Structure 1
Amino acid sequence: MKNIFVKEEQVVEEAEKLLSAKQFTGEEDAQNYGALLAEYKSLLNQMIKVVKISDIMQSELKTMSDNFEETSRIDVLTGIYNRRYFNESYLREWKNAVRTKTYLAVLMLDIDYFKNYNDTYGHLQGDECLKAVAKGIQQAIKRPRDIVTRYGGDEFVVLLPETEAKGATCVAQTIIDNIESLALEHSGSPINHKVTVSIGVSSIIPDKSIKKVDSLLSIADTALYMAKEQRNCFKLLIR
């Protein structure tokens, strides 16, 4: 921590030297000077303590603010990022893709027959299912910039910067395989009575001619609708 009282401490040091030199015209002057110096040193020490306490509190406040900011980006149930953070990240990556002329891919997915799951097993077990699926999705993601978010309800979105259609579909298939490997019982599903997911995939190179920034999401959402007609699969749609 930088000492902001260097000049004040130099004044004290010089004053103490003057007092030690006994160059005062009388004893009373020396006593008055010494008393004034002692008062100044006392006030200076108090100021130093206040500044140190302030620095500590400022550091703690920043830590708490950072923690709050991080917490506000996290979905409480699943522990993955929430829709708010996705929206921020999506806009940032979209602008970056426009600037660098690179691909941006989105996967939109939801759990097949999840309403039936909740009706059969209850919402508490439904929450456990969401947690397990979120983990299965995360395990398919390898790169630091790839983002998995809970978009709402049983819907999840994966953001894959600099990813062409081939790479995006590979991730989609890995997610499907991961969820199947969980072997979560789902008696309300006609697909082997297990929990499965459907995924819509899209990948484009954004450019300034695309007026709506959320157009990639709309394409992926349409692809998801197509996948849900078959279930337990992914569908790729390119504009």
Structure 2
Amino acid sequence: MIFSFQNASFRDSETGLYNQAYFMEILNREWHKFIRDKTSLSVLFLDPHVNLENKTEKDFFIKIANLLQESTYRSNDIICRFDNNFFAIGLFDLNGEGTNIVIKRIHNKIRECVEVNLTVGAINVLPSHAIEFEEIFVKTANSLEKAEAKGENAYSIHQIN
């Protein structure tokens, strides 16, 4: 990726993915649109369990970032580097079943190319004024914890009503 000051404000320099601040800004804006349009949203947290201090594992992390971009085909979805050693994905206008399909596609794509334990926590929500925007990240983190408890390469999806 060629460095530019324009990209520096919203891209992660190592992976080329969006940064966490930009991801949160986009989701917040879309949240209000989805309330108005009654459209669903899925948020995924992905933990590849890599030690970024290790050069080989850091290379795996960057490879996974590229594979994630290839695995999400829709241009309106958004992927970011989250909390330095995680990834987050926002899937717009997708129900729980569609979210399940995307997670399986991601797992399969990554397992074909990289030997890594990828745990995924996801929520699917129909945004409303009764749900606080920040709550979706807490619930997604809880879903990731539940997936971690299941073991390697596990995932967990929760519906928020």
Task: Give the structure-2-normalised TM-score.
Answer: 0.90
Q: Within 1, Cα distance between the matches of 2:57 and 2:84? A: 10
- Give the aligned partner of residue 5 of structure 2: 68
Quote the offset at 1:68 in angstroms.
2.6
- Give the aligned partner of residue 98 of structure 2: 167
The runs of at least 4 aligned residues of structure 1 exceeding 4 Å deviation read: none
Aligned match for 1:95, one of 17, 32, 37: 32
- Give the aligned partner of residue 226 of structure 1: 146
- Give the aligned partner of residue 127 of structure 2: 206
- 1:50-199 alignment, distance < 5 Å: 68-112=5-49, 114-115=50-51, 123-182=54-113, 184=114, 194-199=115-120
- Give the aligned partner of residue 158 of structure 2: 237
Structure 1 or 2: more helix by fraction:
1
- Residue identity in the other structure for 2:129: K
Residue deviations 1:153-194, cap 9 Å, x none? 221000011111111111111111111111x3xxxxxxxxx3
Quote the offset at 1:143 in angstroms.
1.2
Q: Within 2, Cα distance between the matches of 1:168 and 1:214? A: 20
CA contact (8 A) 1:176 1:196 kept: no
- Give the aligned partner of residue 38 of structure 1: none
Q: Within 2, Cα distance between the matches of 1:215 and 1:167? A: 22
Quote the offset at 1:137 in angstroms.
1.1
Higher relative contact order (CA 8 A, sep 6+): 2
Rg (Cα) greater in structure: 1
Alignment length (residue pairs): 156
- Give the aligned partner of residue 137 of structure 2: 217
Structure 1 or 2: more strand by fraction:
2
Residue deviations 1:117-165, cap 9 Å, x none? x5xxx52223211111111111111111100100122210000111111
Quote the offset at 1:110 in angstroms.
0.6
Which SS does the other structure have where 1:139 is aligned? helix
Q: Within 2, Cα distance between the matches of 1:104 and 1:68? A: 31
Which SS does the other structure have where 2:7 is aligned? helix
Identity %: 26
Task: Give the structure-1-normalised TM-score.
Answer: 0.62
Q: Within 2, Cα distance between the matches of 1:70 and 1:94? A: 24
